[in-house]
Amino acid sequence: MTIRPILRYPDRRLTTPARPVTAFDAGLRELATDLLETMHAAPGIGITAPHIGIPLRVVVLELDAKDGARTYVNPEIEWASPEMILHKEGSVSMPGVTDEVQRHARVRISYQDLDGNMQTEESDGLRAVCHQHEIDQLDGMFWIQRLSRLKRERLVKRFEKLSRNS
């Protein structure tokens, strides 16, 4: 288990689409464990392999301790509800700043588990927001790209100021 360095915005690797995982082996399990440890240290509730500079389609989410962590390999959104919700979002790659992003209220995703078995999961609320947020990240869309230009520019200025002062 290793806590890995997290890429910081505006690192270009955060906007590069990730490649599908093809090897379901000990290396993938180690990556998932490292992602979980890195996410806890950040702290955060979700992280992708691209956040640590590895361009693979792997997501780890842990929304609450009793539910435990879940690893999603090669996740894709299969269906999204027409209803939308606003939810406050942020990123381990841009700590200290958040803003409300509009997302689908419910989604169904398909993914593989760490053994390569196909799975599906339906989610709503925070989990649905996280699924969309992290799959965007895997597709090379950093979350602030979902904001208006004005909101995005204000957020980037605030993050730059926080980064200078820390």
Single-letter code of the amino acid located at 120: T
Catalytic residue among 76, 134, 153, 160: 134
d(CA 99, CA 79): 25
Put the strands of the sheet holding 70-80 in their side by side order.
46-48, 58-61, 70-80, 106-112, 118-124
Q: What is the DSSP letter of 38?
A: H
Single-letter code of the amino acid located at 60: V
134 counts as catalytic: yes
Active site residues: 134
